[in-house]
Structure formats: C-alpha cells, structure tokens
Chains A and B, each alone.
Chain A
C-alpha cells in the first residue's frame, strides 16, 4: 500500500530530473590527525547545447533549442602514498578518468541498448587512469607506491553506471533503508569472500585497509555495475574516513532526516570528526527533488 507521502509519490515519476531538481553537494575535510588531505572529489555534468552563430530569425533568445543534460558525474578518489604522492595519485586519477569519459565516450548518452559499450568504456577509462598514475609513479623515486581508490558514479537517465576500484563507497538510501552498492576491494573482504577469515577485530585491523585493487597499485580490478535510477533514491559516496567512524545506522539516520544535500554532508563530516577524524573525510550526497505541481501532472 503506497501512502501519499513524498517518497511513494516520487517513485511514480518516470521523467528525467531537470537541472534545478537536482540537490547535490560534496565536502572534503583533512580530519583531526592527518596534516594533508589526499582525498579528491568532483561533481560535474555534461550538457548538449545549441549555439546559434548567425541567423535571419529575429528572436533567437526565444527559440526552443535550450540545453540538455546528458550525464551527471560524481567521483571520489582516496589517495595512498608517502608525502604528497597520495594527493597527487587521487588528483591525477580523477582528472584522467574524467577526461576519458567526457571526451572518448561516443555513445555515453544513448541510454538504450548500449549497456555493454558503457561498461567497456568505463573499464577502459579506469585502466587508462591506472596507466597514467603508474607512469607518473615511475618518474619519481619514492613515489612508487602512489595509488588511489576511485569510485565513479555516472547518471545517464534512466540508468546509473558505477565504476569501483578500492574501498571508497557508494550507498543508496531509500524508504528508510541504507544499502551499500559497492563492494570494498580490500584484502579483508577478499579473504572473507574466500572463507579464510572471520569478522574478528584483529583481522579487520590488519587487513581491513589494505587495498586488494587500486588505481596505480600492483593490482587493478575495476568493477562496473548498472543500477536503475529511481526518484526515491538518496545517493551517498564517501571515502573510508567517514565509514571508519560512522556506522551505517547513523548514516541512515542522517539521510532520513536530511533537509538538503549540503546539510547532510556537513552533519556526516562532523560525525566523523566527533568519532575521531583519524583519516581524511569526503562525503557526497545527492538526490532529486520534484518541483512544480503534483507529480500526477508530470509528463
């Protein structure tokens, strides 16, 4: 039985959100212990627009050509490495992956029947990014261990494509329930999956933060998944600086009470700081808020 509350109504909307219906925010903080912030994030969108160069039409401003959003991107990268190399790794990886996806992906906004192409392209983008970070690392003595996580969210209505390397995370909150959509690519998770170890605290301490796959690391195993878009979803992406200190229940509570993406980001970063703030903290929160009249009247 669907109630007449907001979320249930939002679930019935099938159109793509307009630009002003997107409520998204990102925040990064060095934390209370580390001197540098090796996390990076990016929120961007790709638009198609008509530019009129010359015409006999007198009222160009009122032409119905407008602008169309083709894709929305949210990316988190958490760098690893001595000195400033971790920061450099996450920065280079993020720039490289965005350059690849925005320039080389020919069909990235054809939402129909191109699923395979999208997935291949995102995997190639991750490997390109890996190669660029490796190349950089070879150039410096002491930079050999530079690497980064990379979690990239690409919304091409009505689908979400998710690229995952490392242990930054993507969660979906819907109808009071928080689900982790990414799988941590850590040694702990890998060994757990093979049934080698159990969830002991010692075990988590030792292996919990050792990446089994990273951009620029000895192993890179990008995983791409596709998820259906839904107006009811609240999206959260974060580096492990959040999840080290803030349990899933608390994240769910914050997202359930959120008044805006900005407010939720600020509250969650504060929670992580209050919980110790031992690592850099990055949080991105996004949602679609329907505007303009009853959804029943929406096309």
Chain B
C-alpha cells in the first residue's frame, strides 16, 4: 500500500509543470583561443493568451486567466564559416527555425498520436526551410558563401518532446542518474564508425570528427527528428562541441547529479571547458522541472 504522500507525488508527476517549476538556463562563451563567438542559443516558450477587449463582467480576470504555455523551445546552433559568416549562419538558423515553429507549424500542441508523424515531418521541413534560407543568403553575399551551422532544437509539448538534430551539437538526458546522449553526431567520423570502418578509438582521434556530414547551409543536410516523452526528474542538456571537446561525459554526469540550479550547472560546465583548454566557443543549456507547492 503506498503511503498517501507517495500517491500524491505520483499523481503530481503526471501533470504539466507550471511556469515557475521550470528551471532552465543557457550560457555561451567564446573560449580562450577564438576571438569571436559563432555559437548562438535561444530559450523561449510559445504561449496562448486570452485578451479581453471589452466586457460587462465585473471580474474579467476570471475569463482571461493569464497566458498558457503551449510549448517550450531550447536550441543551440554552432556556426561554421570564415569571418563573421559563421556567426551569421547560426543566428539566421535560430531566428528562422523559431519563426517557422511559432508561425507556420500547425497542430504543434495537439497531443494526439495521429499527428505525431505529421509533426516530425513538419520539423524536418522547418530545418530544410532554414537550410534554403542560408543557401540563398550565401548566394546573395559573396562573403557569406559557404556559411553553415549545426542546429539542435529541443521542443517540449507536454508530455511529449521532439528533438531536431543537424550537425554535431548535442542533446543529453540525465534520467534515473544515468546520462545518455540522445542526439547522434552528424560527423564524417561518426558515419565511418557506423559503417564499421572506424573503431570507437578512431572517432576520438581522427580529424574527421570535426567534419560535419550534415549541416544547415552545408553541402548536405539530413535533419533527424526524434520523439521523446518528458518526465519529471529528468535533466536535459544541450551543448556545442566546445563543451564536449574538453569535458568527458562522466564529468557532465557528475555536474548534473550535483546541480543546485540550471544556472549553477551551466556556469560550472563552461568553467570546466575553459579550464581544460577552451579551444572553441562553448555553449551550454540545461533545463529541468522542479516541483513546487501551490498552483
């Protein structure tokens, strides 16, 4: 027989987190070697809001009870290209995908099984739309030619979540104390490993580990969408390769297990990457849901 407290917790775990129960933070740093930062990130929510224009009702607040969160978005883009082109590529990608998701995608919060496939396809289409936009920009501006970017987007529509992956920025999930890499690196090294040409050791040493096999604006773009289910207690992490070049998974896990807040763990991880060399731009986003009383 479960104790009443346990039952209450179990029931609470099934509900959508309130706004004040979301603990999310993001941080980006140019690192210790590069002069500019070509990474970009964005954390935002899509909200539905009732606006009362005019009424005879004495207490309008009962009808317009604030705004409701429909979806939560977190994304990282790591730009590639000479001069300012890399920064422009990641910026354009972040802006374009957010614009697309917020305006063009229908049904994005209708949590019905039937629309899941449709939804994944829409996200893939959104990534290809961004890709076209970057190619167009590259054609118009000689300086911007060849600019490209990674894009890792986490989109939560409680209780589901979707991950859109292009390139080698990463998404990790800490669940029941275990850290799992949810995204698959779209690099030449990973492709060759998958084909059985490379060993696990080769991946970490070959120069091909830094060559993207798929990128927004690149010669190839192969967006992959993965569907997940959200759970209370999970901690999500998005990062550019500036973190994972220097900080092993075991250290990331340790940091997430010991975290006191999303902000604290982002700061600690960026510091870890800097301490280990900081050879690239570093971006880290961490998010989790923390149950609070009330509501």
Contacts and interface: CB of A to CB of B under 8 A. Distances in A.
A139 B39 CA distance: 62
Interface in B160-203: none
Interface of B: 24-26, 28, 37, 39-58, 62-65, 67-68, 70, 91, 94-95, 98-99, 102-103, 106-107, 109-112, 283
A48 B70 contact: yes
B284 to A, nearest CB: 12
Nearest to A47: B49
Contacts of B102: 48, 50, 65, 68
Interface stretch (A55-63, A181-189, A216-224, A250-258): A55-63
Interface in A53-107: 53-57, 63-66, 68, 70, 91, 94-95, 98-99, 102-103, 106-107
B44 A55 contact: yes
B42 to A, nearest CB: 4
A28 interface: yes
A210 interface: no
B70 A44 contact: no
Interface in A18-50: 24-26, 28, 37, 39-50
A42 B63 contact: yes
Given A47-B48, A53-B43, A106 B109 contact: yes
Contacts of A70: 48
Nearest to B52: A44
B55 A43 contact: yes
Given A44-B51, A54-B25, A102-B50, A63 B98 contact: yes
A209 B13 CA distance: 52
B46 A50 contact: yes
A23 to B, nearest CB: 11
Contact of A57 (B58, B95, B99, B283): B95
Nearest to A50: B102
Most B CB within 10 A of own CB, among A25, A46, A50, A63: A50
Nearest to A62: B95
Given A45-B53, A56-B40, A68-B102, 14 more contacts: A42-B55, A43-B55, A47-B48, A48-B46, A50-B44, A51-B44, A52-B42, A54-B24, A55-B26, A56-B28, A56-B42, A57-B91, A99-B65, A107-B110
A298 interface: no
Contacts of B57: 40, 42, 91, 94-95
Given A55-B42, A98-B63, A25 B54 contact: yes
Interface string A116-144: 00000000000000000000000000000
A160 B106 CA distance: 19
A131 to B, nearest CB: 17
Given A39-B56, A44-B63, A45-B53, A68 B44 contact: no
Contacts of A91: 57-58
Contacts of B111: 106
B107 A26 contact: no
Nearest to B285: A54
Nearest to A26: B54
A133 B103 CA distance: 38
B63 A99 contact: yes
A48 B56 contact: no
Contacts of B107: 107, 110
Contacts of A49: 46-47, 49, 67
Contact of A95 (B62, B94, B98): B62
A37 to B, nearest CB: 8
A282 B57 CA distance: 13
Contacts of B283: 56
A24 B53 contact: yes
A147 B48 CA distance: 31
Most B CB within 10 A of own CB, among A55, A63, A91: A55
A64 B109 contact: no
A56 B109 CA distance: 26
Most A CB within 10 A of own CB, among B49, B56, B64: B56
B138 to A, nearest CB: 20
16 contacts: A26-B54, A41-B54, A42-B54, A42-B55, A44-B55, A44-B63, A46-B49, A46-B50, A55-B43, A63-B99, A91-B58, A99-B65, A102-B63, A106-B111, A106-B112, A107-B110
A39 B37 CA distance: 61
A44 B53 contact: yes
A92 to B, nearest CB: 10
